[in-house]
Amino acid sequence: MSSRNSTQEYYERTLKEAQRYYKAISSASDWAEIKQRPAKIAADRIPQLHVFKRRELNKTIETFRATRIVDCEDTQAALDSWQGILDNSECRILWDSTVEDCTVLELAKNNARISKILLKNKWSSK
Protein backbone atom coordinates (compact mmCIF):
# COMPACT_ATOMS: atom_id res chain seq x y z
CA MET A 1 0.00 0.00 0.00
CA SER A 2 1.40 3.36 -0.95
CA SER A 3 1.82 6.19 1.48
CA ARG A 4 -0.69 8.27 -0.48
CA ASN A 5 -3.38 5.59 -0.23
CA SER A 6 -2.85 5.09 3.49
CA THR A 7 -2.98 8.85 4.07
CA GLN A 8 -6.21 9.11 2.08
CA GLU A 9 -7.74 6.19 3.98
CA TYR A 10 -6.70 7.72 7.30
CA TYR A 11 -8.22 11.06 6.29
CA GLU A 12 -11.51 9.46 5.20
CA ARG A 13 -11.71 7.31 8.35
CA THR A 14 -10.98 10.29 10.61
CA LEU A 15 -13.53 12.46 8.81
CA LYS A 16 -16.22 9.78 9.12
CA GLU A 17 -15.47 9.35 12.84
CA ALA A 18 -15.68 13.11 13.39
CA GLN A 19 -18.97 13.34 11.51
CA ARG A 20 -20.41 10.40 13.44
CA TYR A 21 -19.29 11.95 16.75
CA TYR A 22 -20.75 15.36 15.91
CA LYS A 23 -24.07 13.87 14.77
CA ALA A 24 -24.25 11.96 18.05
CA ILE A 25 -23.70 15.04 20.22
CA SER A 26 -25.53 17.62 18.10
CA SER A 27 -28.90 16.73 19.61
CA ALA A 28 -27.59 16.71 23.21
CA SER A 29 -29.21 19.14 25.64
CA ASP A 30 -26.04 20.25 27.45
CA TRP A 31 -24.86 22.87 24.94
CA ALA A 32 -24.16 26.21 26.65
CA GLU A 33 -24.45 29.42 24.67
CA ILE A 34 -21.40 31.66 24.75
CA LYS A 35 -22.36 35.30 25.00
CA GLN A 36 -20.62 37.59 22.56
CA ARG A 37 -18.56 40.46 23.86
CA PRO A 38 -20.12 43.79 22.93
CA ALA A 39 -18.63 45.21 19.75
CA LYS A 40 -16.90 48.57 20.02
CA ILE A 41 -18.28 49.69 16.68
CA ALA A 42 -21.29 48.52 14.70
CA ALA A 43 -19.12 47.19 11.86
CA ASP A 44 -17.52 44.66 14.25
CA ARG A 45 -20.89 43.22 15.24
CA ILE A 46 -21.98 39.99 13.54
CA PRO A 47 -25.77 39.90 13.63
CA GLN A 48 -27.64 36.73 14.48
CA LEU A 49 -24.53 34.72 15.34
CA HIS A 50 -24.93 32.09 18.04
CA VAL A 51 -21.96 30.16 19.44
CA PHE A 52 -22.42 27.16 21.71
CA LYS A 53 -19.91 25.09 23.69
CA ARG A 54 -20.20 21.57 25.01
CA ARG A 55 -17.73 19.93 27.39
CA GLU A 56 -17.49 16.20 27.91
CA LEU A 57 -18.08 15.32 31.56
CA ASN A 58 -14.98 13.25 32.34
CA LYS A 59 -12.77 14.64 29.61
CA THR A 60 -11.14 17.89 28.69
CA ILE A 61 -12.71 17.81 25.24
CA GLU A 62 -14.63 20.93 24.28
CA THR A 63 -16.75 21.08 21.16
CA PHE A 64 -17.93 24.36 19.66
CA ARG A 65 -20.87 24.95 17.35
CA ALA A 66 -21.61 28.24 15.61
CA THR A 67 -24.74 29.10 13.69
CA ARG A 68 -25.64 32.23 11.82
CA ILE A 69 -28.97 33.15 10.33
CA VAL A 70 -28.53 34.67 6.89
CA ASP A 71 -31.45 36.47 5.28
CA CYS A 72 -31.34 36.13 1.52
CA GLU A 73 -33.76 35.54 -1.31
CA ASP A 74 -31.78 32.81 -3.06
CA THR A 75 -30.66 30.39 -0.36
CA GLN A 76 -28.80 28.06 -2.73
CA ALA A 77 -26.76 30.95 -4.17
CA ALA A 78 -25.77 32.03 -0.65
CA LEU A 79 -24.72 28.49 0.28
CA ASP A 80 -22.76 28.14 -2.96
CA SER A 81 -20.90 31.36 -2.13
CA TRP A 82 -19.93 30.08 1.33
CA GLN A 83 -18.82 26.76 -0.12
CA GLY A 84 -16.76 28.65 -2.68
CA ILE A 85 -14.98 30.54 0.10
CA LEU A 86 -14.22 27.37 2.05
CA ASP A 87 -13.19 25.39 -1.06
CA ASN A 88 -10.99 28.10 -2.55
CA SER A 89 -7.58 27.66 -0.97
CA GLU A 90 -6.59 31.25 -1.78
CA CYS A 91 -9.45 32.42 0.47
CA ARG A 92 -8.21 30.25 3.33
CA ILE A 93 -6.26 33.19 4.73
CA LEU A 94 -9.63 34.85 5.45
CA TRP A 95 -10.91 32.14 7.78
CA ASP A 96 -7.84 30.23 9.02
CA SER A 97 -5.73 32.24 11.47
CA THR A 98 -2.75 29.87 11.09
CA VAL A 99 -2.27 30.72 7.39
CA GLU A 100 0.08 33.51 6.38
CA ASP A 101 -0.15 32.99 2.61
CA CYS A 102 -1.82 30.53 0.27
CA THR A 103 -1.35 30.23 -3.49
CA VAL A 104 -2.72 27.80 -6.07
CA LEU A 105 0.26 26.45 -8.02
CA GLU A 106 -1.57 24.25 -10.50
CA LEU A 107 -5.09 23.08 -11.29
CA ALA A 108 -4.66 19.35 -11.80
CA LYS A 109 -8.35 18.64 -12.55
CA ASN A 110 -11.69 20.35 -11.99
CA ASN A 111 -11.84 18.99 -8.45
CA ALA A 112 -8.11 18.86 -7.65
CA ARG A 113 -5.54 21.60 -7.23
CA ILE A 114 -2.00 21.86 -5.96
CA SER A 115 -1.63 24.62 -3.39
CA LYS A 116 1.27 26.16 -1.54
CA ILE A 117 0.31 27.08 2.03
CA LEU A 118 2.63 29.12 4.21
CA LEU A 119 1.70 28.71 7.87
CA LYS A 120 2.50 31.26 10.53
CA ASN A 121 5.40 30.26 12.74
CA LYS A 122 3.71 30.96 16.05
CA TRP A 123 1.10 29.59 18.41
CA SER A 124 -2.18 31.43 18.56
CA SER A 125 -2.89 33.15 21.85
CA LYS A 126 -6.00 32.31 23.83
The pLDDT, as a whole number, for residue 19 is 82
- Residue 6, Cβ density class (10 Å: 0-12 exposed, 13-18 middle, ≥19 buried): exposed
pTM of structure? 0.40
CB 30 within 8 A of CB 54: yes
Q: Which residues contact 97 (CB under 8 A, 6 or more apart)?
A: 120, 124
| 3-class DSSP state of 104 | strand
Per residue of the chain (126 residues), what is the pLDDT tens digit? Answer: 566 678 878 888 888 888 888 788 878 888 888 887 766 666 555 567 788 888 877 777 778 887 777 677 777 777 777 777 777 777 777 777 778 888 888 777 776 777 888 888 765 554
β-pair type (99-109, 62-68)? unpaired
Q: Cα(101)–Cα(88) distance, rounded to whole angstroms? A: 13
